[in-house]
Amino acid sequence: MATYDSLFSALGLKQWCAEGKADGPMSMADLLNKASGKSAEPESLWDLPFPSMDALNDSCAAFPKSRELTQGLEQGFLAIKDNLSLVLDPITQPLSWSLDGALYGMINTPWWIVIPIMLAVVFLVTKSWKLVVFVGASLCLLAFIDYYVYAMQTLAIIFVCAFLCVLFGVPIGIAMSRSNTMQRLTIPVLDMLQTLPPFVYLIPLIFLFSVTESKLYGIAIILYAIVPVVRLTNLGIRLVDKDVIEAADAFGMTPRQKLFKVQIPLALPNIMAGVNQTIMMSLAMVVIASLVSAPGLGVLVLRGIRNLDLGVGLIAGFGIVILAVILDRVTKASLARINASQNQ
């Protein structure tokens, strides 16, 4: 029989193993072995298999195969899925509304209103005419090659998601900066969110929500992009000059006054650096999220891959680069303005 038979007999588990014996379907490898007339047993020590789940299952039918692990996980997830959706669905519904609303608004407002408004915002946050001209030219270029709608969809999703990232990320970062326990608990989660391949986010979300709902990609983008703003808020507040904090204490500030009058203003450069990163990561994710029906330039990239439509894919990629440059320059310029007013 198989390699690890002796192990199970030594442990006195023969009985238990025999109970699990069933003539279930064989694996492909088993069938191939059978067909070629080879026995499953290795001939020498050289071929000794690692005592993995499958190898142990060969010797003892009651031992679960590794396939059962993944299947178990899936079944467990499906079992709680309905209850989970019951809770998550209403909570996340506003996300769908705001995404749909933003998409509707951006696309249905005429271009000659949207573009000037954007330029006005750019001027307001950067006070730089050079950037206004650059952004205006880039947007006009995208519109000229008929990518205006796609670009606006992408931008609308980024605005909503980045705004929500800041809305939730900054308070989480503040909580982390105030409690070391909170920091210890949160950092592994942030690490996981940051290192999990972007595609993997989408898998459980597809099961939880319907692919036609916009919150599906909204959640994926927020989870992926929220990390830098949380981290840098925490870091920024922890880096605030200890002497200034001491002065705030010595003059009798309440913790709340300290937070709003000292810590947040002084951490602002770091928080804004986090916002910049968050916006850039939303852009990266919104392209991947086109796999789960996120509209925008990502759809064109996907079409380029699926239909081998080289031109469409490349131009859409170029459009994404332009958006990235615009978003980066504008946030960096406003960050520089904040820095300039604080430099010691």
Q: Does 265 bind another protein (CB under 8 A)?
A: yes
Q: Does 112 bind another protein (CB under 8 A)?
A: no
Pair 239, 270: CB distance under 8 Å:
yes
- Phi and psi at residue 140, in whole multiples of 5°? -65, -40
Among 7, 78, 247, 305, binds another protein (CB under 8 A): 247
**Nearest Cα to 268, choosing from 229, 223, 326, 242?**
229
Query: Shortest Cβ distance from residue 174 to another protein (Å)?
Result: 18
Q: Does 339 bind another protein (CB under 8 A)?
A: no
Query: Shortest Cβ distance from residue 278 to another protein (Å)?
Result: 23
The token duo for 136 is 């205006």
Query: Shortest Cβ distance from residue 246 to another protein (Å)?
Result: 6
- Sole window of 129-137, 181-189, 199-207, 236-244 interacting with another protein (rule: CB under 8 A): 236-244
CB nearer to another protein: give 47 or 243: 243
Q: Does 243 bind another protein (CB under 8 A)?
A: yes
Query: Shortest Cβ distance from residue 274 to another protein (Å)?
Result: 18
Q: Where are the beta strands (DSSP E) in 179-267?
A: none
Dihedral (C-alpha) 279, 283, 285, 288: value to the nearest 10 degrees? 180
Listing DSSP states for 259-294 in one string gives IIIIIHHHHHHHHHHHHHHHHHHHHHHHHHGGGGT-
Q: Does 71 bind another protein (CB under 8 A)?
A: no
Query: Shortest Cβ distance from residue 170 to another protein (Å)?
Result: 17
End-to-end CA distance of the chain: 77
Query: Shortest Cβ distance from residue 265 to another protein (Å)?
Result: 5
CA 88 – CA 340 distance, rounded (Å): 43
The token duo for 168 is 């939730």
Burial class from Cβ neighbours inside 10 Å (0-12, 13-18, 19+) for residue 213 reads buried
Q: Does 253 bind another protein (CB under 8 A)?
A: yes
Among 105, 211, 246, 325, binds another protein (CB under 8 A): 246
- Sole window of 86-94, 193-201, 240-248, 322-330 interacting with another protein (rule: CB under 8 A): 240-248
Among 251, 256, 308, 311, binds another protein (CB under 8 A): 251
**Nearest Cα to 89, choosing from 217, 208, 200?**
208
Return the residues of window 268-297 that contact another protein according to CB under 8 A: 268
The mark string for 145-184 relative to another protein (x by CB under 8 A, - otherwise) is: ----------------------------------------
CA 322 – CA 147 distance, rounded (Å): 12
Q: Does 239 bind another protein (CB under 8 A)?
A: no
Angle, vertex CA 62, rays to CA 58 and CA 64, nearest 5:
75
Among 34, 67, 184, 261, binds another protein (CB under 8 A): 261
Which residues form the interface with another protein (CB under 8 A)? 241, 243-244, 246-247, 249-254, 257, 261-262, 265-266, 268, 341-344
